[in-house]
């Protein structure tokens, strides 16, 4: 490799080539073979005996494997976590009584289909609260019922101690 070829190659390397240019230029002509060796070692894909090096860069492969290992370690406990529940066996002990409490559009209250007054409803709710187990009270307000009437019925049920209360017929509000 001539000095001009080496200089043109080194100029393409930019600032990193300054020591190389100084090594080749002027009185350091005897060090051209050393400069060639430096270039050959830096740019070569061959071993010292001239054989082609066939080696794979395993650093990215190792990085990917470590990331996969960490993901496996993190997700494995989540997948094997189980909650053990003691489920009852045999028939259910008692099925609670179901009471249909209707509120009509004009504010009239019905207990299992029979119209009753608010005082009678309070007596029925107090009796239901004393029973063990408490009956399920299914409140079914009419779509046109004033909200205030339904809220008063629910407040009375809560005040008298009824706890098993739910709404039925809510599909009419869609």
Q: What is the DSSP string of 98-111?
A: EEEEEE-TTS-EEE
User: Looking at residues 92-105, what average pLDDT do you find?
Assistant: 86
Q: pLDDT digit string (tens) for 35-73? A: 566 555 555 566 677 777 777 788 888 999 999 999 988
Would you state the pLDDT for residue 98? 92
pTM above 0.85, yes or no: no
Write out the residue limits of the CATH 3.30.420.270 domain(s) in the chain: 98-173
Q: Are 125 and 160 in contact (CB under 8 A)?
A: yes
CA neighbours closer than 13 Å in the CB half-sphere of residue 48: 1
Would you state the pLDDT for residue 128? 92
- Name the pLDDT band for 99 (thresholds 50, 70, 90): very high
**Least confident window among 11-20, 49-58, 97-106:** 11-20
Domain 98-173, architecture per CATH: 2-Layer Sandwich (3.30)
Would you state the pLDDT for residue 27? 47
Q: CA–CA separation, 128 vs 90, rounded Å?
A: 27
Q: pLDDT digit string (tens) for 153-170? A: 999 999 999 999 999 888
Residue 152 tokens read as 């008063």
pLDDT over 80 (residue 81)? no
Residue 121 tokens read as 């409803």
Would you state the pLDDT for residue 29? 53
pLDDT over 80 (residue 10)? no
Q: CA–CA separation, 26 vs 87, rounded Å?
A: 93
């Amino acid at each position: 490799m001539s000095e001009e070829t080496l200089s043109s190659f080194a100029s393409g390397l930019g600032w990193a080539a300054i020591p190389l240019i100084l090594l080749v230029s002027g009185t350091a002509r005897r060090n051209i073979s050393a400069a060639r060796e430096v270039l050959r070692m830096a740019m070569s894909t061959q071993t010292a005996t001239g054989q082609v090096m066939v080696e794979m860069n395993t650093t990215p492969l190792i990085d990917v494997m470590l990331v996969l290992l960490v993901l496996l370690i993190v997700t494995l406990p989540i997948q094997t976590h189980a909650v053990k529940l003691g489920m009852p066996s045999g028939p259910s002990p008692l099925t609670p009584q179901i009471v249909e409490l209707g509120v009509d559009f004009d504010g009239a209250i019905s207990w299992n289909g029979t119209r009753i007054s608010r005082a009678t409803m309070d007596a029925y709710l107090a009796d239901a609260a004393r029973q063990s187990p408490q009956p399920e009270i299914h409140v079914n307000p009419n779509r046109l019922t004033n909200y205030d009437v339904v809220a008063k019925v629910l407040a009375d049920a809560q005040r008298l101690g009824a706890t098993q209360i739910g709404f039925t017929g809510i599909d009419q509000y869609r």
